Every structure is written in C-alpha cells, then in structure tokens.
Amino acid sequence: MHVFTDLQGRKWEVVITAATVRRVRGHFPDVYLPALFEKKLQPLGALFEDVPKFVDVLWLIVEKQAGQQKIDAEAFAEGLAGAPLEQAGDAFLQALIDFFHPAKAKSLRELAGKAKTAMARIQQHAEAEVAGVDPEKIADQLMSELRSSSGNALASSVSIPPPLVSASSSE
C-alpha cells in the first residue's frame, strides 16, 4: 500500500491496476503507464516535470477515494505542493512498480533506486554550486563589465543636466 498525505492532512492511497492504466490512457493517450520506464526513464521524468499533468494522472488514480470524501479535482490539486507533491510522486512510482510481474518489479525497483541516488547526487552538486555563489563578487564583476563596455556610461549620464522646460514648451 502506497500512501501520501496532502497539505490538508488527507491521506491518499495510490494503487495502479489494469483499470487504472486504461482510465489514464483514455484521458491522456500519450501517457501509457507501463511505458514510463522506457528510454532510460525519460517518459517518467517528463510526467513528473509536467506537474499539472502529473496531478491530473494522480487524480484519475484516486478519484474514487475523492468521491467518497466529496473532494473535487480542484480541491485535490490545491492539496499538492512541496513535500506532499514529492510524497505523491514516490507513492505513484512505487505503485507503478507494483503493477508489474514480481520479477520485473524487482528490476524496476532497483532501477528506481539508482535513479533516486543519481538525483540525490545532482541535488547535492546543485546545492554546492549555489553555496559557492558570492553575490558581492558577481555584482562587482557586472559593474566592472558595465563600466568598461559603456565607456563609463553610468558616470557620464550623471553629468548630463536635465532638459530645461521653457514657457513656450508648456503650451
């Protein structure tokens, strides 16, 4: 059982069956759930990157639960952002893996684990890059480039007096 909790504290169970695959494909002909693992996970990555589409696919999976709670698609989507959206993605991925025959699910679980490790390393690298950014150094560099490329346009624009308004020009 793969569950996530949304921003309003509602719990959602994600289960993917053949009926789910058919329902999703009926609404989104370009999304065939079993094929999301093909091409080095590119289709899965594309679905996760298209957040509105991912939320719509997720809605099709939990729609019956939502009906029991009298929650519409908009209210469901309002509950997904940040950590709950990430939890929903994890639950979706695990449910999709469980859809397959156990032997294939085992290799997909291993593949998903390796992809998650790779993403964590990419995130660590990005965080290190951001931590190394020195805003003062960037500002100094930009100011220096601006001065050299414009022939010190900042200083020269300050020395130009504003135009005088004559009595005849106000008519």
Residue owning tokens 């805003």: 135
At 5 the three-state DSSP class reads strand
Domain contains 140:
no
Largest CA distance in the chain: 90
Per-residue pLDDT, 122:
85
Distance CA 53, CA 16 (A): 17
Give residue 24's domain range: 2-99
Per-residue pLDDT, 152:
54
Domain contains 126:
no
Domain contains 89:
yes
Element (H, E) at 13: strand 11-14
Distance CA 59, CA 39 (A): 25
Domain contains 122:
no
Phi, psi of 13 (to 5 degrees): -100, 130
Per-residue pLDDT, 160:
55
| DSSP of 51-82 | HHHHHHHHHHHHHHHHHHHT--HHHHHHT-SH
Please state whether the predicted TM-score (pTM) of the whole model is above 0.75.
no
Q: Are strands 11-14 and 2-5 parallel, antiparallel or unpaired?
A: antiparallel
What are the residue ranges in the chain where pLDDT is below 70? Answer: 150-171
Per-residue pLDDT, 155:
52
Q: For the chain, what is the domain count?
A: 1
Domain contains 127:
no
Residue owning tokens 């695959």: 21
Per-residue pLDDT, 126:
87
Domain contains 108:
no
Domain contains 51:
yes
